[in-house]
Structure 1
Amino acid sequence: MPHRHVQTARCAALIGPYLSGKTTLLESLLSATGTIARKGSVRDGNTVGDSAAEAKARQMSVEVNLAGFDYMDERWHILDCPGSVELLHETQCALMACDVAVIVTEPAPDKAVLLAPLFKFLDDHGIPHLLFINKVDTLGDLRVRDVVQAFQAVSERKLVLREVPIRENGTVTGLVDLVSERAWHFNPHKASDLMPIPESIKDRENEARQEMLEAVADFDDGLLEKLLEEVRPDAAEVYEQLAKELASDLIVPVFFGSAENDNGVRRLLKALRHEGPAVTATAGRLALPEDGAVLAGVFKTYNAPHAGKLSYARVWRGTVTDGMTLGGERVSGLYRMMGHNQEKLPSAGPGEVVALGRMDKAATAELLTDKGSLGAYEGWPEVPSPVYGLCLSAENRNDEVKLTGAIQKLIEEDPSLRFEQGGESGGMVLWGQGDIHLQIAMDRLRSKYNVSVKGRPPQVPYKETIRKGTEHHARYKRQTGGHGQFADIQVAVKPLPRGSGFQFKDAVIGGAVPRNFIPAVENGIRDCMGTGPLGFPVVDFEVTLTGGQFHAVDSSEMAFKTVARQAMQEALPKCEPVLLEPILLVAIAVPNDFTARVQRLVSGRRGQILGYDARPGWNGWDEVKAYLPQAEIHDLIVELRSLSLGVGTFTWSFDRLQELTGKMADKAVEQRQSQMAAQ
């Protein structure tokens, strides 16, 4: 392989579905490069990648973890990204900082759909990526080419097999590199041994090599000409073209191995080193501005329990030094991270991934220069819409104020969380991407901020209205020492069409109620709108003030406000109050293999299917649109992911209020009355 001198540090992201083995692969890379003396395991909770308590408890990555190593005199930074679809935004933000991504996957064709969101994001952003088929020791009777073919169905870019396996007695014991045509025998937990290509595999190797060359030649006329003339291209030319096509996101090279056994990992390392783009190429791909001598981009904010705020950033240009001014703030500490362990640095050059200490104003996605802030990256990943919410309350009431501040810090770390306070859902509601996502957030509140919380489903924002009108007379009279209180009104109440809200009309003739008291009547009525006869806010009705009486001495604004409240409390129960439930317009996105199941899911939740169509920009996906009661949406994402191998998602928006009667309405009213009695 030709050696390409790179003077700057490079960065690779490890991404892939939950349980694909990314954290184990990171341990293997660190071990193969001599960075750690002994590999940890996810099971034992002693890996560099999953050092957080929340990760250890779940045996899964819950945030992007930073690590690094020196390999053949080059510095590499690795971003180990969470695999849960609920933490996908965290992964997407990390991908904006890398030169190349390694998609790690099991050799499971039936789980190919799990890779679709990753391939889609990488291609949409032009991020170079390769595929590492992990756990090749579990391949069994499956052929690598069949696995690759299944994965090809979810990738727009051509998957190009770079190796073929050597099998002995049905077990993969080595590989042949299709460019160098050298064979390697696996040694568990050691470097592989060079070996002759077995005769039994030579035909398959020649066939696979030809397929690889033809795929590469699709983007290079010179190579294509050689193939047509049956001239054998030399390895250096093929490597050079592979590097160009990888950097341009034209192809996806495919490697395989076993991170658990350290097999195939060194071949992956060499491919990254020789074919992975440099930081200058990545800066060009991102079209980063050229303002200032120094440029760094924040891709993750982390509030360390004792060290304060850390801004994880990639240095794109120049040298960042401890104590310098960056983005208008002083860098108070410069660190290289290894999991949660920090190594203090005096400076960091182009390509380095560092943690900037105590930069309180720096935000995730922000580009910082020595001249000031340039704002956010262009094309930064959009924050996904929330699909699951929990109403939080502090177990200790004295922590309520502390809880609000702690949640704001969580959102600073993870923008895919959203906080709603005092809204229609009741109390403090934390929204996110699923139950696991919010459970992790609650664990962090407990472990990092010492605030223990309880979570319950948010309240459904039911409303109520009236079906018929009435006329009502109300009088308020109270005599105490000195001035008394007197007010008398006559009102006409009637229902309005859905969506009309509340209307107040003044039809008083002849000054029966003085002009200065009429606003007090309206305010008194509005006070009652928050809680109607059924216990919910009242909407879509009209009240007309038709007459009344006053006393020259005892009447006041307060008296007329009080009599208006009294009138509403007495009149509304006579108007056939009825419950209204919110109906949402929901768009559910799934691979089309699951469309029929989604339709059954919607029907089973009192939904009305409006139809389905191809999901825009997603090959092989559908988008099902439906009306769904908000009461049915709380755990919708849980069931949806269960029936779609974890990749289904949805967006929603309020559409209308609709009458609800029968047992469900009775139950909602009963629960509301119980809540009000308990307050």
Structure 2
Amino acid sequence: MNNKVEVGSRNVAIVGPYLSGKTTLLESLLSVTGAINRKGRVQDRNTVGDSAAEARDRQMSVEINAASTEYGGVRFTFVDCPGSVEFAQETYNALIGVDAAIVVCEAVSDRVLTLAPLFKFLDDWEIPHLVFINKMDRATSHYMDVLQALKSVSSRPLVPHQYPIAQGEEIVGFIDLVSEQAYHYHPGAPADPVPLPEALRSEEQAARAEMLEVLADFDDHLLEELLEEINPSEEEILQDLKMDLGADLIVPVFVGVAEQDYGVRPLLEALLREAPDAETTAEHRGTVLSAKTPLAQVLKTYYTPQGGKLSLVRVWQGTISDGMTLNGVRVGGLYRLMGQQTHSLTTAQAGEIIAISRLEGVRTGDTLTTADSQPTAELPKAEHMAPVFALAITPEKRNDEVKLSGALTKLLEEDPSLAWEQHGDTHEVILWGQGDIHLQVALDRLRRKYNLPMSTHLPQVPYKETIRKPTSSHGRYKHQTGGHGQFGDVHLDIKPLPRGEGFNFKETIVGGVVPRQYIPGVETGVREFLVHGPLGFPVVDVAVTLTNGSYHNVDSSEQAFKQAARIAMQEGMTQCEPTLLEPILAIAISIPTDFTSKVLKLVSGRRGQILGYAAKEGWHGWDEVAAHLPQAEMYDLIVELRSLTMGVGYFHWEAHHLQEVPEKLAEKVLASNIGNNNGSSNGNNRH
């Protein structure tokens, strides 16, 4: 058994910002290679990509879609990735399993900044990639201006592979800078060779010289030729492009209009000629086991209405067969995907991206191998994005509550950038994600796939309360019935503790005035009271000392002393100046330097405390702002941050400390809390 497949194999991700035309490009690639007879349109909701109902409802990609075709003796599997930043986790998970990526963008230089995080990921993972400037028929910027803008967000040098030919506002063709041959586009047909327009000769020469100079940085022989003014051969240039692209040293740039198939065939030819094949990528990534042992990685998990669980898998080495056992789970079936359509396979060889059914217990990112030969190390996986947006959810039908946790577990298997929790203080089920659209898609899936329609509201802020001054209090519980009575009597000292100390209970009883067996009842009574303090919230940072008391030989019990302690706490806590506390988050916001001043104002306007900012390590032209921010101000922070930063700003956060709520705000919170469960819950105190 060897690693090679019968036909060459190449896996290519199609990535780029929202509305750049990625799904349309996939449709064009499948059409010109004969994989589909008729091109679909995103507006008509009949494309191979965006096949999920949630995608078609919104006319945007919300998960990755794989589709295979053959061209030039090579099997291409294209993976169409979402462009919205809210679904970036899907894109990153897919990219680790491909041989190359096409970065699709529009000819609008002002929007190029939105590519910065994507370029950073591609470069960090050393994934070969090229750029396809799409929608050239609607260009608002000159080609060279777009190229210059692209250079500003890429750590790899960009190499113009083509130069566009325009007539007025309309793009009519391109010049291949390798061969210096000009071509005119034709809808639905290959471009025709035409004489190079004399009016563009100087621009073409300048663009070609730029291409050769970049390539010469990695090829001494080419550099010598250029210094001696020797025109290099096409073969030499193409060989340099292939080697440099495969090593992720350069980023070739192409142009076109995917909707009209303009530029799609030259793009395919470049992928065929210059992009690394599957075997080269596997060698570059390294292997864990011998080449004969099956080794694969899960790039995406789907739960389909008909076929159940499907795992989209990159086979890195060996052969996977139907019925084989991987990671202790029997393979339920092998499939090649064409959007939501599946084509059965008996085997899948190294270099292929295929789907495997019924891999129960296997998650996105997992490394797969045979049951008797576990990998010595897991294959690297994309880091999970931290959640930044939340909604509290409740089933519309009360009887559905028992099904919710199981459905959420499956939902998180499909989309690892989601998270959920049952909050310990507010008792809400909170669904976390990357933004409002992200969570709405998740809620649609709960409704469609699991018949679980949800009601949503803003999560409650988990306020706490504490005290400002100490006091001593007395509590006596005396209850007489027909038989034995109940009697407990305690004296408590209550005092505040430093912030973050929590709760402390001790006793200083002497002379047995409260027998030892009743003291645990006193502590239980105190703790139970602190669950809902006088302001209606959990009490923290309080010390309680049992100092004195009395008991009855017959009527006293642990239960009676628990009730006496609650009475003493009820009397004493109101005298201790209770005050409201709110959770404060430590937050690190990453943004391009041009937006730093705006973000500082954003944080300050949300009662945030700026701790400082500095250049972001490893990110050219980016800053990281450190701040403390009240959790009550976090709810739509990501929405406003993205609005200020063209969608590229992001943040990480963690709970840091509690601090007193400003007096006027505290009054509003407490006023909204009155009457909610007798003051025992946070009620309407939402983010």
**TM-score, normalised via structure 1 length:** 0.97
- SS of the counterpart of 2:375? strand
Q: Per-residue deviation at 1:533?
A: 0.5
- SS of the counterpart of 1:51? coil
The amino acid across from 1:572 in the alignment is: M
Is the CA contact 1:426–1:458 (under 8 Å) kept in the aligned structure 2?
Answer: no
Deviates more, 1:83-92 or 1:6-15: 6-15
Q: What is the distance in 2 between the residues matched to 1:591 and 1:249?
A: 24
Report Cα offsets for 1:98-154 as digits up to 9, x if no partner.
Answer: 0000000011111111000000000001000000000011125x3211110011100
In the alignment, structure 1 residue 225 sits paired with structure 2 residue 247: no
Aligned counterpart, 2:448: 447
Q: Per-residue deviation at 1:191?
A: 2.0
Aligned counterpart, 2:669: 668
Report Cα offsets for 1:461-503 as digits up to 9, x if no partner.
Answer: 1110111122111111111222211111111111122122111
Is the CA contact 2:33–2:69 (under 8 Å) kept in the aligned structure 1?
Answer: yes
Deviates more, 1:23-32 or 1:478-487: 478-487
Is the CA contact 1:309–1:358 (under 8 Å) kept in the aligned structure 2?
Answer: yes
Aligned counterpart, 1:102: 102
Is the CA contact 1:8–1:350 (under 8 Å) kept in the aligned structure 2?
Answer: no
Q: Per-residue deviation at 1:507?
A: 1.2
Aligned counterpart, 1:39: 39
The amino acid across from 2:154 in the alignment is: S
Aligned counterpart, 2:545: 544
Aligned counterpart, 1:553: 554
Report Cα offsets for 1:445-467 as digits up to 9, x if no partner.
Answer: 01111101122221111110111
Q: Per-residue deviation at 1:675?
A: 3.1
Aligned counterpart, 1:266: 265
Aligned counterpart, 1:429: 430
Q: Per-residue deviation at 1:332?
A: 0.8
Is the CA contact 1:613–1:623 (under 8 Å) kept in the aligned structure 2?
Answer: yes
The amino acid across from 1:334 in the alignment is: L
Is the CA contact 1:48–1:67 (under 8 Å) kept in the aligned structure 2?
Answer: yes
In the alignment, structure 1 residue 157 sits paired with structure 2 residue 153: no
The 5 Å alignment of 1:180-191 reads 180-191=179-190
Q: What is the distance in 2 between the residues matched to 1:648 and 1:208?
A: 33
The amino acid across from 1:529 in the alignment is: L
Q: What is the distance in 1 between the residues matched to 2:344 and 2:211?
A: 45
Aligned counterpart, 2:242: 243
Q: What is the distance in 2 between the residues matched to 1:249 and 1:406?
A: 41
- SS of the counterpart of 2:253? strand
The amino acid across from 2:523 in the alignment is: E
The 5 Å alignment of 1:496-515 reads 496-515=497-516
Aligned counterpart, 1:193: 192
Is the CA contact 1:6–1:278 (under 8 Å) kept in the aligned structure 2?
Answer: no
Is the CA contact 1:491–1:545 (under 8 Å) kept in the aligned structure 2?
Answer: yes
In the alignment, structure 1 segments of 5+ residues that lack a partner are none
Q: What is the distance in 1 between the residues matched to 2:237 and 2:391?
A: 54
Aligned counterpart, 1:360: 360
Q: CA RMSD in A?
A: 1.6
Distance 1:376 1:643, change over 3 A: farther
Q: Per-residue deviation at 1:202?
A: 2.1
The 5 Å alignment of 1:588-607 reads 588-607=589-608
Aligned counterpart, 2:65: 65
The amino acid across from 1:34 in the alignment is: G
Q: Per-residue deviation at 1:406?
A: 0.6
Aligned counterpart, 2:684: none
Is the CA contact 1:391–1:426 (under 8 Å) kept in the aligned structure 2?
Answer: no
Is the CA contact 1:93–1:300 (under 8 Å) kept in the aligned structure 2?
Answer: yes
Count of aligned residue pairs for this structure pair: 674
Distance 1:377 1:12, change over 3 A: farther
Q: What is the distance in 2 between the residues matched to 1:201 and 1:432?
A: 49
The amino acid across from 1:320 in the alignment is: I
Q: What is the distance in 2 between the residues matched to 1:339 and 1:170?
A: 35
Q: What is the distance in 2 between the residues matched to 1:398 and 1:170?
A: 61
Is the CA contact 1:366–1:376 (under 8 Å) kept in the aligned structure 2?
Answer: no
In the alignment, structure 1 residue 207 sits paired with structure 2 residue 222: no
Q: What is the distance in 1 between the residues matched to 2:344 and 2:84?
A: 31
Is the CA contact 1:611–1:626 (under 8 Å) kept in the aligned structure 2?
Answer: yes
The amino acid across from 2:401 in the alignment is: E
In the alignment, structure 1 residue 457 sits paired with structure 2 residue 468: no
Q: Per-residue deviation at 1:377?
A: 4.2
Q: Per-residue deviation at 1:668?
A: 1.4
Aligned counterpart, 1:288: 287
Report Cα offsets for 1:607-662 as digits up to 9, x if no partner.
Answer: 11122111111101111111111110111001111111111111112222111143
Distance 1:225 1:593, change over 3 A: same
Q: Per-residue deviation at 1:376?
A: 6.8
The amino acid across from 1:474 in the alignment is: G
Report Cα offsets for 1:268-298 as digits up to 9, x if no partner.
Answer: 0000011111111111222231345322211
Aligned-pair identity (%): 55
Aligned counterpart, 2:636: 635
Is the CA contact 1:8–1:349 (under 8 Å) kept in the aligned structure 2?
Answer: no
Is the CA contact 1:14–1:78 (under 8 Å) kept in the aligned structure 2?
Answer: yes
The amino acid across from 1:411 in the alignment is: L
Is the CA contact 2:288–2:376 (under 8 Å) kept in the aligned structure 1?
Answer: no
In the alignment, structure 2 segments of 5+ residues that lack a partner are 682-687
The 5 Å alignment of 1:381-392 reads 381-392=382-393
Is the CA contact 1:336–1:344 (under 8 Å) kept in the aligned structure 2?
Answer: yes
Q: Per-residue deviation at 1:190?
A: 2.5
Q: What is the distance in 2 between the residues matched to 1:471 and 1:424?
A: 28
Is the CA contact 2:531–2:538 (under 8 Å) kept in the aligned structure 1?
Answer: yes
Aligned counterpart, 2:685: none
The amino acid across from 1:224 in the alignment is: L
Q: What is the distance in 2 between the residues matched to 1:481 and 1:666?
A: 47
Q: What is the distance in 1 between the residues matched to 2:437 and 2:617?
A: 28
Is the CA contact 1:328–1:373 (under 8 Å) kept in the aligned structure 2?
Answer: no
- SS of the counterpart of 1:241? helix
Aligned counterpart, 1:83: 83
Distance 1:583 1:257, change over 3 A: same
The amino acid across from 2:60 in the alignment is: M
Q: Per-residue deviation at 1:6?
A: 8.6
Aligned counterpart, 2:252: 253
Distance 1:339 1:674, change over 3 A: farther
Q: Per-residue deviation at 1:542?
A: 1.3
Q: What is the distance in 2 between the residues matched to 1:202 and 1:35?
A: 38
Q: What is the distance in 2 between the residues matched to 1:394 and 1:351?
A: 43
- SS of the counterpart of 1:9? strand
Is the CA contact 2:603–2:609 (under 8 Å) kept in the aligned structure 1?
Answer: yes
Q: Per-residue deviation at 1:677?
A: 4.2
Is the CA contact 1:6–1:74 (under 8 Å) kept in the aligned structure 2?
Answer: no
- SS of the counterpart of 2:563? helix
Aligned counterpart, 1:491: 492
Q: What is the distance in 2 between the residues matched to 1:495 and 1:326?
A: 57
